[in-house]
Structure 1
């Protein structure tokens, strides 16, 4: 039994054991993001609709959007404090230091899509590989928080996007202020020689408009959520500066309200909707890129940019893996074992690693 589903059944239930009957559940499900975001309109709503349908209404939801109850990075507080039952999504990277191993999905890759990364993420959550101290990934990241969680579809590949500039060399990026949304983005931009400016995506439009930053690390599909197609002018694609992974999570107290049968339905539905969400995100990535290109925004694959700039991006990608492993290990966590497992999983799904990463992972 996988780590992600082992809590559905307690012990080895006999085949003839009856399903425990519990009262109908009406759960508060909340998003800190607006409905236009693909993790809300194309995940939270789809998930809630499917659960209500598959349980014949025995589980229902009262839905809140756009931070009506809990704000970005405070979703775990809402779950643990009881103000919400379900966070959809729980934005793990904004909970600084709380989900340290979850950042592994943001390590740079090549040729990846949301569907590739989401399949790998589901397998990472299910993995029974012990990373350290007899603990799996799920046991490190999820179980101690008093919640139960499943991946949402990861973002599509994060691109390097600019407003009003088209860098031609590595030197052009030296000191350039670029928006970073996470610790991994900060590492990558530092290795690139740029100046990372940390802020949530919701603050990017104003920062780009005012010239506070000259670009942002963000997936193209995400542009629509923040109207960034109105300010961005140039995008380097083809190298994934990670994929942002997050969760749909339910508090343990709400989980215990559900019968075994309802828990099984919930688990399968979360998996189904994660894949559907990934497919919709990939479709939106293509759609937004086509609309933006028609409006005059320039997209250039990393393979077509000047050699010096491409080399700098490749070196920064590999260095990001190295620094993340080192920093995580220094914090007493199994960074190398997590990175090794993640590399195996994404490659099995068809991804490629930046040059030098495989050698890095086997070195001591």
Structure 2
């Protein structure tokens, strides 16, 4: 089974110990996240997943849980898995692993009419697809297979929106020089195409940057505002155009996976897929909850893109389409099959009922 003994160095949450040895109990997996417990990928994904596995296995599998980077920080999850420090990363945030998951940003490409469940299903289809990309490998073979892990889609975040503290973005020129937070390389492209100034920083630093005026706004999912306590700072949001969705992985090391029985592997796979879709629905439902609180308590204003001027609508649409082209061309230039990946993902998004920015389908040859 899974009985192993090993020493694990971890920062104690209470600050009582800098390092401590930990015995790895029989049938117990170490599951870790770099995120805090209030985050929807923890409270509504990691914990429900672990609970379901423990229950579904009748206690044959249990988890020792670590939160808030106690064992592995954001962007170090893959190292934790391959070194044996942890067995399961929930989540493994691929965009923070610079250069190691070059195609996984594909869900951050802008679209219209997408929801969290739609993107979750589309991304899992991409992982499951047997379509060979231009290099002769499937998406999973290219992006995951050689990294010593097995992965499943998370519940995708709600659509990323453009939000500001005081600056009202009504016309294209209003973007000029405005410092906006971009959480990933692909979002940097979007911000640049809009004419604003990208400031790259992780979510936990958003509150301080917004409150100090280091940034004027942010590209992030509305339902993620409470995770970083920024709902009290943001006043103006453009909605109904998705600046993509942040997707990533629930990951288990090959070593831990190989220690499971066939029945346990089946339970793991089925549970991962089920919990991802449940989590996606929470992300989606929470948008209206956060919007209501913002409007009632902080005078937040939410403006659908369709209510802005034709010039503004065209400006955002062109920025969205240009982002697809720039990401594909930059990633292809680095030697990765981005065009085939984007085309396959776009097909899945269209199947789910989403719409591509004008000109993207033609560019992809769909």
CA displacement, residues 18-73 of structure 1 (integer Å, 9 cap, x when unaligned):
xxx77652000001001100000000000000000110011110001111111111
**For the residues of structure 1 that align with 2:136 and 2:196, how far apart are their CA atoms?**
39
CA–CA separation in structure 2 for the residues paired with 1:308 and 1:228: 30
Is 1:291 matched up with 2:293?
A: yes
In structure 1, the gaps of 5 or more residues are: 1-20
Query: TM-score normalized by structure 2?
Result: 0.92
Is 2:33–2:68's contact at 8 Å kept on the other side of the alignment?
Answer: yes
Aligned-pair distance for 1:132?
2.4
| TM-score using structure 1 length | 0.92
1:87 aligns with 2:89: yes
Paired residue secondary structure (2:40): coil
Structure 1 position 300 matched with structure 2 position 309:
no
Does residue 145 in structure 1 map to residue 147 in structure 2? yes
Q: How far apart are the structure 2 equivalents of 1:142 and 1:193?
A: 34
Shift of 1:175: 1.1
Query: Are residues 1:342 and 2:307 paired?
Result: no
Q: Aligned to 1:239, what secondary structure does the other structure show?
A: coil
Q: How many residues align?
A: 343
| Residue number among 148, 166, 169 corresponding to 2:168 in the alignment | 166
Aligned-pair CA distance for 1:292: 1.0
2:130 to 128, 131, 148: 128
Aligned mate of 1:30, from 29, 32, 56: 32
Any conservation in 1 of the 2:112–2:357 contact (CA below 8 Å)? yes
Deviation beyond 4 Å, 4+ runs, structure 1: 21-24
* Superposition deviation, residue 172 in structure 1: 1.2
* CA contact 2:120–2:280 (8 Å) conserved in 1: yes
Q: Distance in 2 between matches of 1:54 and 1:161?
A: 41
* Structure 2 spans left out of the alignment, 5+ residues: 4-25
Instruction: Indicate conservation of the 8 Å contact 1:22/1:259, yes or no.
Output: no
Q: Which residue of 1 aligns with 2:78?
A: 76
SS in 1 for 2:121: helix
Q: Which residue, out of 174, 177, 180, partners 2:179?
A: 177
Q: 1:197 offset after TM fit, Å? A: 0.3
Q: Tell me the equivalent position of 2:63.
A: 61
Alpha-carbon contact 1:92-1:246 (below 8 Å) kept:
yes
Separation of aligned partners in 2, 1:252 and 1:25: 16
Aligned mates of 1:152, 1:69 — CA distance in 2 = 20
Alignment RMSD, CA only? 1.1
